[in-house]
Chain A
């Protein structure tokens, strides 16, 4: 009687009523709900994966949620980031998240870390939490989160998405493998498109984020069989779920040989800085024209060819008047149809792909080629706001 009474004392009557569907589950019960209340979970990123994780962890009664993010809510986030809303566009994601979480469950304490997670602050931030939910969107932060979790002995609940597919696992448990056991090194920058470049089905982070949340809750409660040692692959198009065995690699520099004894420079490790420098160097030789200069040439009735190197599905969304579509991958085969005696202006969405096309044309002997700086996105900002941005 006294044990039950003191255990119950940690949850208010309001909380007992709120969590009644948990309390009547023998696998959770009063003791499990108290574990949830005592738990401290860190969400790295409150975007696509972090949205459902934050909502369900808060709803479940996890006592303290740490949130790491430094982004601002943008309208293009709302197709999948259900933690945020139209009313919070333009606000800091951490403020938007706090409002929503406090409305959902005022018993949850939100700790906001408005900063990118870096080698300098990661150990200090992660140290005070019981486990981490990785909802980041780039390789450098994923390796950083992994190594910090291995060094600190904190479970890393992993999820990752692309287009219609996702991966989930639990890394860095006492005897389990880590992210580096699965992927020893990151791909070179630019090889794997991000969701901003390649797109993602809006509900996919909902599927993967709720799987991560399920794993986080199981770890806190100490129930079931975790995904540690298994990799879950989700294919939403075929609606196929498959788990593969994930082994701890004895040669893993993080959790195997332990040769990684401190956090490293992850931008260097992922080649991000080198790639940015190489891009800048390559693009420095690309002649540019601004949207306003292009508009002036069109208004003057100048004679030139305007080439759009985006994909057909992007062409369907928005296009510039008088442009001709030649997707970047087909520029070389379209060379015979282009006249090197005429001025050629090339554009894409923001100017990166078209810079590559300009270089290809230059390499093929074209001398009068310009890149539209900022692409049709900047054209929409500076010349014709009626053109939709995407």
Chain B
């Protein structure tokens, strides 16, 4: 399944762009595909075990994946995955 991934600027500098194309049947596979292509970005997306961090939230389309099966959430062609890291500036 072809999925578009949106990165915030804080992470986009670790990849070629803030908008990336990826493949996979689940969110986890989509993330691993990106992690394999961008080694510097990889540790910012998931921990050493490949699990999501508590301070980086993944949205599949408009829904937080923690409520839909986390990295096991299935994806469809054309889905959008948005990565929302915690920021604290004020």
Are these two chains actual partners, yes or no? yes
Measured CB to CB, the residues of A under 8 A from B are 45, 47-50, 134-139, 142, 159-165, 167, 182-187, 191-195, 198, 200, 205, 231, 233, 235, 237, 242-247, 249
Q: Does residue B64 face the partner (Cβ distance < 8 Å to A)? A: yes
Is there contact, CB below 8 Å, between A184 and B9?
no
Is there contact, CB below 8 Å, between A192 and B87?
yes
Residues from chain B with Cβ under 8 Å of A142 in the complex? 88
A161 with B89, Cβ < 8 A, contacts A183-B54, A185-B55 known: yes
Measured CB to CB, the residues of B under 8 A from A are 8-10, 44, 53-57, 59, 62-64, 66-67, 82, 84-90
Is there contact, CB below 8 Å, between B82 and A165?
no
A137 interface neighbour in B64, B67, B89, Cβ under 8 Å: B89
Is there contact, CB below 8 Å, between A237 and B86?
no
Is there contact, CB below 8 Å, between A249 and B66?
yes
B54 interface neighbour in A48, A185, A231, Cβ under 8 Å: A185
Residues from chain A with Cβ under 8 Å of B8 in the complex? 162, 165, 235
Interface centre among A185, A191, A243, A247, by most B CB within 10 Å? A191
Is there contact, CB below 8 Å, between B88 and A139?
yes
Can you name 27 A-B pairs with beta carbons within 8 Å? Answer: A48-B89, A49-B90, A50-B90, A135-B90, A136-B88, A137-B90, A138-B88, A139-B86, A159-B90, A160-B88, A160-B89, A160-B90, A161-B89, A162-B8, A163-B9, A165-B9, A165-B10, A167-B84, A182-B84, A183-B55, A191-B44, A205-B90, A231-B84, A235-B8, A237-B9, A244-B62, A245-B62
Within the complex, what minimum Cβ distance (angstroms) separates B88 from chain A?
Answer: 5
Within the complex, what minimum Cβ distance (angstroms) separates B66 from chain A?
Answer: 7
